[in-house]
Amino acid sequence: MSRTLLDVKNLRVAFGGKEVVHSLDFQVAPGEKVALVGESGSGKTVTALSLLRLVQNAAISGVASFSGLQPSSGMRDLLSIQEHELRGIRGRDIAMIFQEPMTALNPLFTVGEQIAEVLELKLGLARADAVVQAVQLLADTGIPEPARRAKAFPHQLSGGQRQRAMIAMALACQPRLLLADEPTTALDVTLRGQILDLLTGLQQKNGMAVLLITHDLNLVHRFADRVIVMENGHIVEQGRVAEVFANPQHSYTRRLIDSRPVRDVQETPVAAGAAPVMQARGLRVGYPTPLPGVRGWFRHGEFVAVHDAAFTIPPGHTLGVIGESGSGKSTLALAALGLQTFTGELRVAGQAWGQQQAHNRALRKVV
């Protein structure tokens, strides 16, 4: 490469004297999209977190040279600079999308406040301007009703919506390098494509490079320029995506490419007159919402997450519930388990969920 944004040499990570990442060497060029792939436990996430020294109780060695924001600043070793210098780089020049947004987001602040805080601290925006920009960033990720979602706490959003809020926060400062750890795991297929298009557009507009950590080879084939394959903490192969997919050189890479899920589901006959295991009719779940102004003193509004759902599950059968993020899938499942207040009829093994805890405990033996 004639230009290098990130140059990693001999990266090693150990916990309690046991090395889990072994002598990694790789580079990322400005504006390049590189995918780091491998099975769970191969060391992908630890590698990315180590670049920003975010791995607790880890012994990290090697060199991770990063090109500063100003051309005159040259390359800085992320693994040896002072912590206060690294704090200036985190979130501003190098941002990260974490795999588990529920643990990465602060439960005590709304998602809008958390995004606005990044803009205030890193870009010096005024509070009012940062709030407006936070709503726009949420809108850019395709989240519905961004102004309302910005006022929501993390637990009030679906898994996919929390993931989009995490992406909005990471992209707030238009970083030079984005470390994306499974950024589309909790997203539906439609939104997954939108997020990839969004990342590609920002990468082309701002010259942002992306290091994508994933196990989804279809995602790699669609998004990345180069691929780095990891196995048990070692890099076993790297190269252009088209070349590696067409002619993998390592046996592990060939196994990854050749692996395909096999659906082997046998239809279970239902005996005549067999009672359903679970049956729902007119199932409805709503959440109270505050009303603006004086009206909110006396009453509240309502957000209906599930409208008049009806389904039947015969013995030995599986019912699949699909839909976009925020469509009510998880809420429906919680209601079916008796863990969410609902109206309508829901029967399990011929019995309805009741108001008595002892009655519900008996039903939980079959749910």
How many residues does the structure list for the chain? Answer: 367
Q: Which residues pair with 8 in a beta bridge?
A: 26, 64
Residues 145, 250, single domain; the answer is: yes
Residues 50, 123, single domain; the answer is: yes
Q: Is the Cβ–Cβ distance between 149 and 160 less than 8 Å?
A: no
Residues 56, 192, single domain; the answer is: yes
Residues 46, 132, single domain; the answer is: yes
Residues 56, 184, single domain; the answer is: yes
Residues 54, 152, single domain; the answer is: yes
Token pair of 362, please?
């008996």
Residues 178, 290, single domain; the answer is: no
> Is the residue at 272 inside a domain?
no
Annotate 107-137 with DSSP letters as a single string.
TTS-HHHHHHHHHHHHH---HHHHHHHHHHH
C-alpha–C-alpha distance, residues 7 and 209, integer Å: 13
> Is the residue at 112 inside a domain?
yes
C-alpha–C-alpha distance, residues 55 and 18, integer Å: 15
Q: Letter for the amino acid at 124?
A: G
C-alpha–C-alpha distance, residues 125 and 127, integer Å: 6
Reduced to 3 states, what is the DSSP secondary structure of residue 17? coil
Residues 208, 295, single domain; the answer is: no
> Is the residue at 178 inside a domain?
yes
pTM comes to 0.73
Q: Is the Cβ–Cβ distance between 343 and 284 less than 8 Å?
A: yes
Q: What is the pLDDT of residue 186?
A: 63
Q: What is the domain range of residue 131? A: 6-258
The residue among 228, 258, 288 that closes a domain is: 258
Q: Is the Cβ–Cβ distance between 53 and 86 less than 8 Å?
A: yes
Q: What is the pLDDT of residue 195?
A: 74
The residue among 207, 230, 258 that closes a domain is: 258
Q: What is the pLDDT along the chain (367 residues), one digit of tens a residue?
A: 447 899 999 999 999 989 999 999 999 998 899 999 988 888 899 999 999 999 888 999 999 999 865 554 578 899 998 888 888 888 888 988 887 788 888 999 999 999 999 898 888 889 999 999 999 999 988 788 899 899 999 988 887 788 888 888 888 888 889 998 888 776 667 777 777 787 787 777 777 899 999 888 888 888 899 999 999 999 999 999 999 999 999 999 998 888 766 677 677 677 777 788 889 999 999 988 877 777 777 788 888 889 999 999 988 888 888 887 778 898 999 888 888 888 898 888 888 876 666 777 777 777 6
CATH number at residue 22: 3.40.50.300
Residues 147, 11, single domain; the answer is: yes
Residues 252, 333, single domain; the answer is: no
Q: In this structure, how many other beta carbons lie within 10 angstroms of the beta carbon of residue 78? A: 22
Of 52, 59, 38, 40, the C-alpha closest to 8 is: 52
The residue among 258, 291, 313 that closes a domain is: 258
Angle between helices 111-123 and 127-140 (to 10 degrees): 120
Residues 249, 293, single domain; the answer is: no
Residues 59, 142, single domain; the answer is: yes
Of 107, 102, 104, 180, the C-alpha closest to 141 is: 180
> Is the residue at 127 inside a domain?
yes
Count up the domains in the chain and report the number: 2
Q: What is the pLDDT of residue 301?
A: 81
C-alpha–C-alpha distance, residues 58 and 85, integer Å: 20
> Is the residue at 232 inside a domain?
yes
